[in-house]
A and B are shown apart, each in its own frame.
Chain A
């Protein structure tokens, strides 16, 4: 089961990466993690460093991707963002985006959506 979830996640992240690149985002890092959390994608877009959380789901059950984002998850991404800025020496604008990916039962991308500057 866990294996399967990882699989779904990877597919979603790959699809999200492609979408962002097509929009002109330069991907700097994937799966940046520490013991406090993880950021799926870190990208550069205009004057922003964008921290992207990718939410992937299969089928219609258990709600929509955006319903899986809560303030806890956002603050985790934010803290990780702060850590990354510290490490990389970035002193400019930051932003958190969410990409939602819907997969059908065959594991193909059915729909993909990108929400900029998500705040709760």
Chain B
């Protein structure tokens, strides 16, 4: 007899419906074949399914079993077909009578337990898109699917439970839909920006970067607080919007990086890959392409500490994704596109010894060494960074001052909450501005077309900008970037119009610090 069970294949960030067709023939010698372009994990599923069925108190038929994963020309990979195959066999052999509507998704252990699977969120999303009522997913990752409204999520613990559910002996309790907004409450930031001593210019630049999603490069001597500022950066980032959260979660679900029981990414990702990271590690890849660091940092921050230490070729692969906010990876298995709209936060020392332009210390590097070091970050990469900031070493008296004295010296000394409030209100303005444009949340994401619409400049401002552009030799890209940064600065002040002082501040961050 023939049985059909619906399941899902994930291709990159897309989900495709797969029909698991199982035929149990009443003739010939026993056999168990799976066709439909499955990889090793799929063909090994035979052993897991057989033992899981036997250890769940059902009997595995000594008959000729043929399993087809349709569409047959789409390559299938992973262990998530175990559960639908097992259910299909039991239905086809009439071991269980009944029907199962909706997607069945999960890996089986030899004892019949259902194990966690990557991409459970996508199963829920596809179910809603195809107007299917239910999904049967591993209990460990069921929370991912439960954020999708309008579908019933059955968390499956083991094969026996699902068999009893289909036989209507004992129904599985569906999971309650999880309200996205309730999850997006803020966790405690680890480092408060108030803990960074001094560095007002850098803090201001960080605020602008966070508000508008602009790339930021911090250059300064060792110990100035660059890394500390970067660590405090997440604490001033605005919370994820519900639709942003779904976008980010989708990537983490596909990468299998959502902690079990977690429904959503609650905070903006902050990725800080080590400088030995390879090209594939950064942009993604593999024979079955997986998202890399830049996609994992989507709508969040990619922090590259010690930027010049990254190998040049690795940095250059960032060029295209930084421009397009997406990366497409082509491999023999197929082509995959991952979103990669990230904020690049980079830090660097000005020279190998670190003390070039230091107010008190002598730099010991020769000119050739410095030039060689400088060449490690190419012009095209620098051009794509909106905010270039020099970070001076901290004055010693600021470090040793008591709290009272410090308050006097360091009047602004704001904590993250205060800064973050301004950032959130600026983001609110951008959200209003970009209503109806899909996937656009920040000023930095604007294309030239949007710049022309949303950043109207008065004649006076235009003239000022042109003079500055000539003086600093701004490229066409840098020119538009200055306007976008000025837009963010105006948003932070709550101004509709971009004024000369906004442009002036924005241009100041293009100053050559590298």
Chain A interface (Cβ < 8 Å from any Cβ of B): 47-48, 78, 81, 91-96, 116-117, 119
Say yes or no: is B165 at the interface (Cβ < 8 Å to chain A): no
Say yes or no: is B63 at the interface (Cβ < 8 Å to chain A): yes
Closest chain A residue, CB of each to CB of B28: A94
A-B contact pairs, 19 of them (CB 8 A): A47-B26, A78-B29, A81-B29, A91-B27, A92-B27, A93-B26, A93-B27, A93-B28, A93-B63, A94-B27, A94-B29, A95-B29, A95-B30, A95-B62, A96-B29, A116-B62, A117-B30, A117-B62, A119-B30
Q: Which residues of A contact B62 (CB under 8 A)?
A: 48, 93, 95, 116-117
A69 CB, nearest partner CB in chain B, Å: 15
**Which has the most chain B C-beta neighbours within 10 Å: A92, A93, A95, A119?**
A93
Closest chain B residue, CB of each to CB of A91: B27
Binary contact track B21-52/A, C-beta < 8 Å → 1, others 0: 00000111110000000000000000000000
A32 CB, nearest partner CB in chain B, Å: 16
B30 CB, nearest partner CB in chain A, Å: 6
Chain B interface (Cβ < 8 Å from any Cβ of A): 26-30, 62-63
B114 CB, nearest partner CB in chain A, Å: 26
Known pairs A91-B27, A116-B62; list 10 more (Cβ under 8 Å): A48-B62, A81-B29, A93-B27, A93-B28, A93-B63, A94-B28, A95-B29, A95-B30, A117-B30, A117-B62
Q: CA separation between A96 and B27, bound complex, in Å?
A: 13
Closest chain B residue, CB of each to CB of A51: B29
Q: Which residues of B contact A78 (CB under 8 A)?
A: 29
**Which has the most chain A C-beta neighbours within 10 Å: B27, B28, B29, B30?**
B29
A93 CB, nearest partner CB in chain B, Å: 6
4 smallest beta-carbon distances between A and B, as pairs: A117-B62, A94-B29, A92-B27, A91-B27
A91 CB, nearest partner CB in chain B, Å: 5
Q: Which residues of B contact A47 (CB under 8 A)?
A: 26
Q: CA separation between A93 and B26, bound complex, in Å?
A: 6
Q: Which residues of A contact B63 (CB under 8 A)?
A: 93
Closest chain A residue, CB of each to CB of B63: A93
Q: CA separation between A96 and B28, bound complex, in Å?
A: 11
Closest chain A residue, CB of each to CB of B62: A117
B108 CB, nearest partner CB in chain A, Å: 20
Closest chain B residue, CB of each to CB of A74: B29
Q: Which residues of A contact B27 (CB under 8 A)?
A: 91-94
Q: CA separation between A117 and B26, bound complex, in Å?
A: 15
Q: CA separation between A92 and B25, bound complex, in Å?
A: 9
Closest chain A residue, CB of each to CB of B31: A119
Q: Which residues of B contact A96 (CB under 8 A)?
A: 29
A27 CB, nearest partner CB in chain B, Å: 19
Q: CA separation between A81 and B30, bound complex, in Å?
A: 13
Q: CA separation between A95 and B30, bound complex, in Å?
A: 7
Q: CA separation between A81 and B63, bound complex, in Å?
A: 15
Closest chain A residue, CB of each to CB of B30: A117
Q: Which residues of B contact A116 (CB under 8 A)?
A: 62
Q: Which residues of A contact B30 (CB under 8 A)?
A: 95, 117, 119
Q: CA separation between A96 and B30, bound complex, in Å?
A: 9
Closest chain A residue, CB of each to CB of B64: A93
Cβ-defined contact, A92 with B26, below 8 A: yes
Q: Which residues of B contact A119 (CB under 8 A)?
A: 30
A90 CB, nearest partner CB in chain B, Å: 9
Q: CA separation between A47 and B27, bound complex, in Å?
A: 10
Closest chain B residue, CB of each to CB of A119: B30
B44 CB, nearest partner CB in chain A, Å: 16
Q: Which residues of B contact A81 (CB under 8 A)?
A: 29
Q: CA separation between A119 and B63, bound complex, in Å?
A: 12
Q: CA separation between A33 and B219, bound complex, in Å?
A: 87
B275 CB, nearest partner CB in chain A, Å: 52
Q: Which residues of A contact B28 (CB under 8 A)?
A: 93-94
Q: CA separation between A43 and B62, bound complex, in Å?
A: 16
